Amino acid sequence: MPPETQPILPWMVKFAFWASVILTVFKIVELAVNIARTPRLDLRLTPDVFFRLTDFGETLFCNSVLLSWNGPIVIVETHPTLDKIDSPTKSFPFKVLQFGQKVKGAGPLPDHYFHSRSAISHLAESKPQQALYLCVQEKYEDKSRKALANFQKEVLEYKQEVLVKAAALPAEGKDTFQKEILGKVNQIVDKHLPLMMEVVQLEPGQYRLSLEVDYQNPKSRLVRRKRTIQSSIEFSIGTDVRDHFRVNLRQTLLVGATNLLLDQQTTITYPEYQPLQVRSV
């Protein structure tokens, strides 16, 4: 045996073997701990929910509370769905138009502040966050916008007629002309009101509102797996909902038409409906 070659002692082989085994076990334990500590999201829809007919169409305002644990998370997508759970059953996919939160208002009630159109947001660990969602009926959004555009178009076309007639109107015919304008405005409103109500899908019954939130671990060094959590509430819609919307929508259209005709800025109150017997499920 050459003098520079030293024999490997048996205890050295055993030490290397057991050291590699222990190191492997530590790595497996570390991996298991990391998996167990993968950030998670807790989601709760609150009973604070209502419907409103706006320029976007039939909209839904709902609120949630989110809490991240085992680390921060990144919210990537949000999907609300409204299901009618009594007969006949129906499903209405909504989409979130704007994301926001409640802020302190001038009066005793909070104001709605919408700061983004994107669902992407960062949620720090163990810091609860309240979220506000402005949602719209996804299948009927375009129809609602078109119905409103047709109404406004007819009002503006009539406005041009009014301007032409007003320029040649004698002083003694002013009162009669004003009554004529009022009658025509009511006629336009009554023509478009049933067309707009056809697009409104809410009807009496029992409903379940579900909110799905997709999120990821921003610290993941490998593939960022997308996880999903869901929360639901149920509520009732009374038998008066259609009449309630119809009466208040007519008033809203009258004010809107008057603003267009007279270039006014009178505040428009949009029809709103509060569900009954809201409960978590």
Least confident of 25-34, 98-107, 138-147, 259-268: 25-34
Specify whether the CB–CB gap between 258 and 264 falls below 8 A: yes
Distance between CA atoms of 227 and 215, rounded to whole angstroms? 5
What percent of the chain lies above the pLDDT cut of 90? 73
Residues 217, 72: Cα–Cα separation, whole Å: 7
pLDDT of residue 88: 92
For residue 229, give both structure tokens: 């959590």
Q: Are 271 and 252 in contact (CB under 8 A)?
A: yes
Q: How far apart are CA 50 and CA 233, in angstroms?
A: 12
What is the pLDDT, as a whole number, of residue 1? 47
CA nearest 248: which of 193, 202, 168?
193
Q: What percentage of the chain reaches a pLDDT higher than 70?
A: 90
Q: What is the pLDDT of residue 158?
A: 96
214 touches 96 (CB < 8 A)? no
As a whole number, mean pLDDT of residues 237-261 equals 97
pLDDT at 26: 65
What mean pLDDT value characterizes the chain? 90
Residues 6+ apart with CB under 8 A from 173: none
Q: What integer pLDDT is reported at residue 139 of this predicted model?
A: 92
**How many other C-beta atoms are found inside a 10 Å radius of the C-beta of residue 26?**
10
pLDDT band at 21; cut points 50, 70, 90: confident
CA 235 to chain centre: 17
pLDDT digits (tens, 9 = 90+) for 156-171: 999 999 998 888 878 7
User: 64-102: per-residue pLDDT in tens?
Assistant: 999 999 999 999 999 999 999 999 999 999 999 999 999
Determine the pLDDT at residue 106: 82
**Residue 240 in contact with residue 110, Cβ under 8 Å?**
no
Q: What is the pTM of this model?
A: 0.84
Report the C-alpha gap between 183 and 81 in whole angstroms.
Answer: 41
The torsion angle over the Cα atoms of residues 135, 136, 138 and 139, rounded to 10 degrees, is: 160
Distance, CA of 52 to CA of 140 (rounded, Å):
14
* Phi-psi region at 126: left, alpha or beta (left = phi > 0; alpha = psi -120 to 50): left
Side-chain half-sphere exposure of 92, counting CA atoms within 13 A: 23
CA angle, 169 as apex, 166 and 175 as ends, to 5°? 90
Task: Say if CB 76 and CB 214 are below 8 A apart.
Answer: yes
Nearest to 236 by CA among 262, 198, 192, 205: 205
Cβ–Cβ under 8 Å, residues 246 and 211: no
Return the pLDDT at 34. 56
Calpha distance 259→265 (Å, rounded): 6
108's CB contacts (< 8 A; 6+ apart) are none
